[in-house]
Amino acid sequence: MKISLISNPKQKEKWAGRTGPLQEWFRSHCVIDEDPAGAQWIVTLGGDGTLLYAMARFGTKKSYFGINLGHLGFLTSADVTGTTDVLEDVFIRKIYKTEHVRYLLYRGDMWEGLAVNDVVLKGVRVEDMARFDVFLNGAFIHTQTADGLIIASPVGSTAYNLSVGGSIIHPDAGGYILNSIASHALGIRPLVMGEKHTLKIVPHSPMSLIIDGRLRGTVEGPVEVSLASDAFSLIRQVDWDFYQVLRLKLHWGKRGEEKC
């Protein structure tokens, strides 16, 4: 099995002291392919952004293992501290499990592709309000004005969606979430879509299309979003647990005086 290592070039100097020992470990214990296209597994050294970049670029035919060098790291499989035992289990003893992560498909104007975390629509300028119509499987839901709109996959529910008060969806759940950013109608709340539902957003004026935190371009016509039937493969240690990640990353159960 060939492995390719990918790190965040923008953080090369900042994380040099962390990535160096990891790269040395992998080169000593694994078969490394410098070209990710020829590797079966891709190991990312960075944060969730580095893992998202690799998944979007190299697709679902690869398996992914993310090592978190940053802060939260909801998607990554291991943290840089105390990671040696995890690496030995996964890459030497071959003791691991595979999590299948479904993603979103989007299409609008000249743009189309996939989003692992979320599809976000906002006004073209920071100060612009966004007004749009929302349809589900062709049926009209509502018209609203807001700072923008988030359509998040199950794994993306803990990203931008969570920061604006959206619900957390278990990665195995068969659905995705529609959430407004600072809606002008207090009665509009996050909605969970079924796995076979297709959303259509019709903007009243041009809007920015942002995919997994990266500006894709501007759209003027309808944008359709649905949950893909295919999935990415994330390699996890056998005792990896979604709720343990939430407890650690969101400090569930911690009191104000306790150190996180």
Distance CA 257, CA 255 (A): 6
Q: Are 115 and 216 in a shared domain? A: yes
Average pLDDT over residues 49-69: 93
In terms of pLDDT, which residue wins out, 171 or 148? 148
Q: Are 109 and 221 in a shared domain? A: yes
Q: Are 73 and 161 in a shared domain? A: no
Average pLDDT over residues 61-74: 87
pLDDT cut 70: percent of the chain above it: 97
Q: Are 141 and 221 in a shared domain? A: yes
Residue 260 predicted with pLDDT over 60: no
Domain assignment present for 258 = no
Domain assignment present for 210 = yes
Residue 59 predicted with pLDDT over 70: yes
Per DSSP (E only), the strands in 109-156 are 111-115, 118-123, 130-136, 139-146, 148-152
Handedness of CA 153, 246, 96, 46 (dihedral sign): positive
User: The CATH number of the domain where 222 resides is what?
Assistant: 2.60.200.30
The range of the structural domain enclosing residue 110 comes to 103-229
Residue 48 annotated in active site? yes
User: 3-state DSSP call for residue 166?
Assistant: coil
If one counts the domains in the chain, the total is 2
Q: Are 87 and 163 in a shared domain? A: no
Q: Are 156 and 217 in a shared domain? A: yes
pLDDT given at position 258: 63
Give the model's confidence band at 257: pLDDT under 50 very low, under 70 low, under 90 confident, else very high. Answer: low
pLDDT given at position 256: 65
Choice among 33, 35, 48, 241 that is catalytic: 48
Q: Are 138 and 225 in a shared domain? A: yes
Q: What is the pLDDT of residues 92-129, one digit of tens each?
A: 999 999 999 999 999 999 999 999 999 999 999 988 99
Return the closest-CA partner of residue 106 out of 59, 153, 68: 153
